[in-house]
Each structure stands twice: as structure tokens, then as C-alpha cells.
Structure 1
Amino acid sequence: MATLASDNRKANYALGVLFVVTMLNFLDRQIISILAEPIKRDLGLSDTQLGLMTGLSFALFYTTLAIPVAALADRWNRSRIIAIAVAIWSAMTVLCGLSANFIQLFLARIGVGIGEAGSSPATHSLIADLFPPERRASALGVIGMSIPVGAFIAYAAGGWIAENLSWRIAFLIAGFPGLLVALAMWLTVPDPRGKPRLLESFKPIPGKASLRDALRELSGKPAYWHLVGAGVMVQFVSYGLASFYGGLFVRVYGMGYGELGWKLGVMVGLSGGFGAWIGGKAGDFFGKRNPTLPLIVSGLVLLSAAPGMIWAIYAGNANLAIILLAIPTFAATFYYGPTFAAVQLLASDQTRALAVAIYLLIAGLIGLGLGPVFVGALSDWFAAGGTGEDGAALQKALACLALFNLWAGAHYWFARKGVATAAQGS
């Protein structure tokens, strides 16, 4: 009993540190969203350039490097990998604040993506070893809760700093804490596989699958690819919307960055946090009864996000619009626990991290990489076509984006059969 209690404490402590790691991951990733409008004005950028800067620059290496880093996580010490990743992306966030033009900022954002590529696959693999299957969705739901918390800090603090100091200072302040967290991760969170010494941190562990092995295994599991498709659409919408929060509220409603930051932060923190927490609990609750129910519920939640998002975009009142944005924000985090629990169920012990990395590669490259570019280019196209001023053109682009929630919801319906089969064989 004492050993079990000690193991639970160690697992919960590790989960707490990973919560902070993921929170900083999304803080440093998302702070550019609230800073995009002042950056646009300072550097003279177009909406398309904003989309490239907030989405594609980050996604290029964040997604492609996730595969080799996940292969590393399936063989080597995951705690060390996460610590190094945190240190890299934090340093690159600081460099964002020192950028003098679009190219420099684009390259610094690529650096942030390179660092953050090392976090998620190793984190998910580590949690899968720290927690039994019946607690896994809840543990992943806790990690999902860190996402809106990081976004809350990014929006609230970033907006205030941008309005009262500068967008450059916001990047500098966002980047420095990660260096301390990286040290804590390195020193205090052991990998359950063992405690390698410093010089043995990268000693490979035999018996893990290669990328080719993982793709061969997953290619015969259509349910996995439907989960990937859902992830693509969720990220396409959520990052496309988040990248133009500032543009929507500053251009349409004339709201200041400080006011916008804390109001968005509260909305994202509460609705996103509850979405991730309730999604994780619902995943465990419904999954015990029928493994397909968590996916069906996730799909229904996403279907409700499309009309909710359109309603928010054309609310006509800034405060009402922020409140209504809670609907798509809740949906964009609810899916997290059920989806990644299903991914872990579909993958074998040898391919857990790689299954997450492949998911993140495709969902990130298309969703995160192209969602903001889609909105920016469509907004510029509407504006150039004389369909309205910048604010009205951006509203139309975001309304088109909202419809992709329907596509995301449909994938969960098609994934249910494969997940049920996998559950029977586990």
C-alpha cells in the first residue's frame, strides 16, 4: 500500500510538472495571437503575412520534427527530451521580442516550433506509462486543461503588456520562465524506464518500433486516421480563429488590447479549461460503458460549435461576442482527453509516442499551419473584392472557417467502429 501511495504521488507530481510544461508550451505559442495586431501595425504586415507568421512558421518544424523526436521518445529518456525542448522554445520566444522585421520574426517562430516539437509526444508517452488505462483520459484531460490556462496568461498578460509597454516586452517576459521549468523537469521528474545518469541520458532502449513499423501498424486502422482528420479540422478552426482574435475585436469593435486580453483570457481559461476537464471525465465515464460513446459525444459537441461560432462573429456587441466564443472554445478542448485516450488505445505499446507524433504532424501541418493562412488570405481576398472594410472582410472569412467544425464532428462517427474493436482486443 505504501509503495502504491508513493507511486501515485510521483505520478501526480510528474503530471503537475507536465501541466506547467504544456501551459508554457501554449503560452509561448499563443501569445503571438494577442500581439498580432500591434505587430501588424508596427511592421506594416498584411493579414496573409499575419497568418504565415502565426501559423505556418510555427507549424513547419513543430510538426515535421515531431516524428523523429517521438521516435527518440520511444527509445530514450523522455524527461530529458522534454526539458531540452522547453529550454529551446523559451529561448526562441525571447528572440521573437528582439526581431526587427517580418523575416526575423518568422525565423524566430520557426525556432519556437522546433523546440515545442519535443514536448507533446514525449509527454503523452510518459503519461501512458505513469497512469493505468482507467485513469489515462482524466490525466490527459488535466494536460488539456493546461492549454486554456496558458492561453489565458498569454491573452491577459500579453494584451496588458502590449498596451502599456510593448509587444516586444511581452515576448521577453513570456520566454524567461521556461528556462527554470526546463531545469526542474530535468532534475525532478524521472522517467519510469529508469534513472540514467547525465551522460547516459540518451542511451537507447531496445524493442521500440521505427517510424516505418508505426506507419505499417497504423495504416490498417482507419479509426486512427479518422481521429487524425478530426484533429486537423479542430486545429484548423481553433488556430485560424485565435490568430485573428485581435483583428476581429480591434477592427470591428475598437477594443483596446488590455481590455481584450483579459476578457479573452477569462473566456478561454474558463470555457477551455472546463471543456478539457469535462471532456476527460466524460471520456472515462462513458468509456467504461461503451468505448465509442466518448467519440460520439465529442462529435456532437463539435457540431454545436459551428452555429455558436458564427453567432459570436456577428453578435454586434463585443462582450456578447466574447461570451459566445466560449462555445467553440469549449468544443476545441473537450475532444482532447477522449481523442488521445483513443489514440493510445489504438496504438501498441511500441508505437504510443509515434502514434501521437504522426497525429500531431498531420493535424498541425494542415490545421495549425494552414488555418491562420486560410483566414488571412480569405480576409485579404474579401477586402480586395470590395465586399467590405477590413473588419467586415475578416468576419466573412471567420464565418467560412466555422463550417469546418461540421467536418470535424463527422470523423468521430466514422472512428467509432475501429475504436470498439480495439477496446475488445485490449
Structure 2
Amino acid sequence: MSAAKISSTRILLLFLFMNIINYVDRQVVSGVLPLLKDHFTLTDTALGLLGTAFMITYTLTAIPFGAWSDRWKPHKVAAIGVAVWSLATVSSALAWSFASLFIFRALVGIGEAAYVSTASTILSNVYPENKRSGILGLFNLGMPIGGAIGVVLGGWIGAKFGWQWAFFLVGVPGLILAYLAWKLPLPKPVNAPTRPKFSLRELGVLMKNRAFFWSALGYAGISFAFGAIVLFVPTFFQRELGYELGTATMLAGALQVGAGLLGAPIGGYVADFWQKRDKRGRAYTLVLSMAASAILLWGGLLFHSLTLFFLSAFFMLWHVGVAASLIFDVTEPGVWNTANAFAMFMMHLLGDIPSPVIVGYISDKASLTTAFAVMPIAMLFASVCFWRASRHQSKESSKTPRLV
């Protein structure tokens, strides 16, 4: 099948399904967290380390995979990543100790780094710039949908058959999707220059781009809050609000997918609409949505209000297509994979690598409610960073080469 006959819709759907499985495999651990706590006799700090294990390897390998993608075929790099994380998820079912499970979850991070470093860039090349936030918002529906499925399936399968089966069953579908991605006959972007051998100097150039720097730092603030909350929210509902595990995972999944199905496309639409009138529109969208999410989360914790938790998640999930689009807005197409990977590196190093452990530690010393109360501070920090990014942003939009 020739590249000319590949529809952009087909590419979007394939990468959307891969992204759903991505978050299923990532968040299944959240659904079985109470079971793992009992099975391995773990503290909340140790449970937080399971999230950190994934993010450490994810962060360390994102930049090499991004640089490789700028110089080879991004969709094949993505396919390799999907295969690696799927095999690592299946292998998690064989864990015989906390240390072995830690290692398997760390291997999941390597696979996801290869995929995430490339997927958004491929779609940004397939679709025009004025649709970028909306398309990436649709693609990133994999976050709330897959995350919710992972939490719910993890809790349900774990309660019925044991946590081992939860890891095994959710890991298999990714292998099929990896094969389909490998077979896509996609060319390089038509205007993409031939890239020389990777040099750390490339990262230095990106760091001097102040709009990129503040955008990536804002991304880190989102990641700090979102990563810890998603990991612990079923446990929060069980422990702090008194729900049974099955009900807690179902509630957490429903809240996440409902907020995502509304928040991601609405956020993308608002950002694209604003962007047509002001080239800083995407940054301004993130400034407002992160501030709103922070205030609503504090209200939810104060009143134990599921409505306020939902609204906080709704505004939080406005970022899923918009923040990625902003990274592409402020960098050149020839380094998009590297820029995206570097942004992911900063996001995870400063965000959801430390935050699960911090939340777990505060929870051990005080309570999960107290630990969650720290998260809105990170959201407000993100809001300030995106405002700073807008101050350095060019008034001209980037030119986007297309694949098809």
C-alpha cells in the first residue's frame, strides 16, 4: 500500500488505539495498588516508587529515542516502543518480589519513551497547524480513556483472579498494534532536513529557547500533580472516602474518562479557536485551565465533593492536546521529535518521578488528603510557567510540513 493512499484518519485511529493501550498498561498498577500493598507488605512510599520506576527509565531514554526518530522512521521507533512496553507489562505478572516488579515496571517506561517521543510528532506532520490542538486532543483521549480502563480493569481482574492476571491480560493487545504501526509505509516529512549526528549542543539550543523552556517547565508542573493523583486516586477514594476497592476503582475510572472525554476535546477546541485570533492562544488556554483546576481541587478536598473533583479533572485534562501543541508551536519542525522528547524529560524528571514518592511519604506521615492538598501548588506553578512562555512566544505560527 503506497503512502499516498494512507488516510490521515486511519493514522489517527491507529495511534489513538495505541495511546489507549499505552495508558491502560501504565495505569493498571493503580487499580491493583491495594492488592500489591497487601501481597508484598508495602508502605505508601514504596507504592509510590512503582510509579517512579516507570518514570525514571521513561525520562532517561526519551531524548535518545527522540533524536533517533528525527534521523530514522518515527513510526518504526514507535512500533518498537509499543512492543517493548507490552512485553514488560506481561512480564510484570511474573513478579516474585517488590524488587522484580519494580524492574518490570521500569522496563515499561523504556518502551513508552520510544512511543511517546514520536507519536505526537507524526500526527502533527499529518494534519495542518490550525487543527493541531484539536487532533492532539483527540489523540490524547487515550490518557483518560486508557487510564480509566486500566484502573477499572486492574481493580476488577485483580479482585476476581489476582493482580498477576491484570498485568498479563492488558499487556497482550499492544503486540498486535505494534505490528500494525511497523507496517505503516510512512515517509519522512516532505520539508524535513537531513539531520546530522546527534549532539548535546542540540539540547543547549532548545534550552536557550525561552518559550520552549517555560512551556516544558509548565508541563512538569502538570505532570507533578497529575501523575501522583492518578496513581493514588483509587486508594484515596477507598481510604479517605470509605468506598470498597471495586467501587473506588470504578468511580476513579468514571471520573477520569468522563472528565477526559469532555475536557480534552473542549480544551483543544478552545485553544485552536483562541490561537486563530492570538498566536499565544494555546499558552493562555493553559494558564486559565491550570489555575481553575487547582482552585477546584482544593475545594474538592475541603468539602470531599465528587463534583468539584470532576470539575478539577475536567480543566486539568484541557492540557492533553494543548501543551503538546505548544511545544511544537515554539520549535522548528526539523527537531520536533527531539524537542518533544526533551520536554518529556523535563516533565518527568521534575514532575511525576518525584511526586508519587512525595505523596506516599506525606500520606505515611499524615494522610492522603494532606498529600493531595500539595498538588494544586504544582498546578498554579504550571499556570505561571505557561504565562511566562507566552511572553517569549513568537507572534508568527510555525510552518508545519505534512506527510500526506
**1:130–1:192 CA contact under 8 A, matched in 2:** no
Tell whether 2:217 aligns with 1:229. yes
| Match 1:155 to one of 148, 151, 155 | 151
**1:162–1:258 CA contact under 8 A, matched in 2:** no
Instruction: Name the residue aligned to 1:401.
Output: 375
**What CA deviation, in whole Å up to 9, does each residue of 1:179-237 have, x standing for no partner?**
111111112x222329xxxxxxxxxx933573434323323221111111111110100
Instruction: Name the residue aligned to 2:246.
Output: 258
| Match 1:351 to one of 325, 329, 335 | 335
- Distance apart, 1:128 and its partner CA: 2.3
Instruction: Name the residue aligned to 2:323.
Output: 339
SS in 1 for 2:279: coil
**2:283–2:387 CA contact under 8 A, matched in 1:** yes
Using the alignment, how far apart are the partners of 1:216 and 1:162 within structure 2? Answer: 46
SS in 2 for 1:253: coil
Equivalenced residues, count: 396
Using the alignment, how far apart are the partners of 2:88 and 2:231 within structure 1? Answer: 19
**1:208–1:351 CA contact under 8 A, matched in 2:** no
Instruction: Name the residue aligned to 1:267.
Output: 255
Tell whether 2:297 aligns with 1:304. no
TM-score (normalizing by structure 2): 0.93
Using the alignment, how far apart are the partners of 1:222 and 1:50 within structure 2? Answer: 36
Using the alignment, how far apart are the partners of 2:43 and 2:335 within structure 1? Answer: 42
Using the alignment, how far apart are the partners of 1:101 and 1:311 within structure 2? Answer: 39
Using the alignment, how far apart are the partners of 1:160 and 1:120 within structure 2? Answer: 28
Using the alignment, how far apart are the partners of 2:371 and 2:317 within structure 1? Answer: 22
Instruction: Name the residue aligned to 1:20.
Output: 17
Instruction: Kindly provide the amino acid, as one letter, of the partner of residue 45 in structure 2.
Output: T
**What CA deviation, in whole Å up to 9, does each residue of 1:71-130 have, x standing for no partner?**
110011111111111111011111112112110110000110011110112112211221
Using the alignment, how far apart are the partners of 1:39 and 1:116 within structure 2? Answer: 23
- Distance apart, 1:403 and its partner CA: 2.2
SS in 2 for 1:243: helix
Using the alignment, how far apart are the partners of 1:360 and 1:136 within structure 2? Answer: 18
Instruction: Name the residue aligned to 2:188.
Output: 193
- Distance apart, 1:266 and its partner CA: 1.6
Runs of 4+ residues over 6 Å off in structure 1: none
- Distance apart, 1:163 and its partner CA: 2.0
**2:121–2:336 CA contact under 8 A, matched in 1:** yes
Instruction: Name the residue aligned to 1:91.
Output: 87
Instruction: Kindly provide the amino acid, as one letter, of the partner of residue 32 in structure 1.
Output: V
Tell whether 2:24 aligns with 1:36. no
Instruction: Name the residue aligned to 2:48.
Output: 51
Instruction: Kindly provide the amino acid, as one letter, of the partner of residue 117 in structure 1.
Output: A
**What CA deviation, in whole Å up to 9, does each residue of 1:120-172 have, x standing for no partner?**
12112211221121222221111111111101211222221122221111111
Instruction: Name the residue aligned to 1:362.
Output: 346
In the TM superposition, 1:62-77 aligns within 5 A as 62-77=58-73
Instruction: Name the residue aligned to 1:328.
Output: 312
Q: CA RMSD in A?
A: 2.1
Instruction: Kindly provide the amino acid, as one letter, of the partner of residue 408 in structure 1.
Output: A
Using the alignment, how far apart are the partners of 2:84 and 2:312 within structure 1? Answer: 31
Using the alignment, how far apart are the partners of 1:278 and 1:94 within structure 2? Answer: 35
Using the alignment, how far apart are the partners of 1:358 and 1:236 within structure 2? Answer: 16
Instruction: Kindly provide the amino acid, as one letter, of the partner of residue 309 in structure 1.
Output: L
- Identify which range, 279-288 or 303-312, moves more after superposition: 303-312
Instruction: Kindly provide the amino acid, as one letter, of the partner of residue 96 in structure 2.
Output: A
Using the alignment, how far apart are the partners of 1:376 and 1:211 within structure 2? Answer: 38
**2:280–2:395 CA contact under 8 A, matched in 1:** no
- Distance apart, 1:354 and its partner CA: 0.5
Using the alignment, how far apart are the partners of 1:153 and 1:424 within structure 2? Answer: 36
Using the alignment, how far apart are the partners of 2:223 and 2:8 within structure 1? Answer: 29
Instruction: Kindly provide the amino acid, as one letter, of the partner of residue 258 in structure 2.
Output: L
**What CA deviation, in whole Å up to 9, does each residue of 1:230-261 have, x standing for no partner?**
11110100111112113212212332222222
Structure 2's unaligned 5+ residue stretches are none
Using the alignment, how far apart are the partners of 1:73 and 1:359 within structure 2? Answer: 15
CA separation of 1:424/1:61 partners in 2, compared to 1, >3 Å: closer, same or farther?
Answer: closer
Instruction: Name the residue aligned to 2:116.
Output: 120
Using the alignment, how far apart are the partners of 1:14 and 1:23 within structure 2? Answer: 14
Using the alignment, how far apart are the partners of 1:404 and 1:169 within structure 2? Answer: 35
SS in 2 for 1:368: coil
SS in 1 for 2:89: helix
Using the alignment, how far apart are the partners of 1:379 and 1:370 within structure 2? Answer: 14
**2:332–2:398 CA contact under 8 A, matched in 1:** no
- Distance apart, 1:277 and its partner CA: 0.9
Instruction: Name the residue aligned to 2:271.
Output: 283
**1:58–1:112 CA contact under 8 A, matched in 2:** yes
- Distance apart, 1:45 and its partner CA: 0.3
- Distance apart, 1:36 and its partner CA: 1.0
**1:280–1:338 CA contact under 8 A, matched in 2:** yes
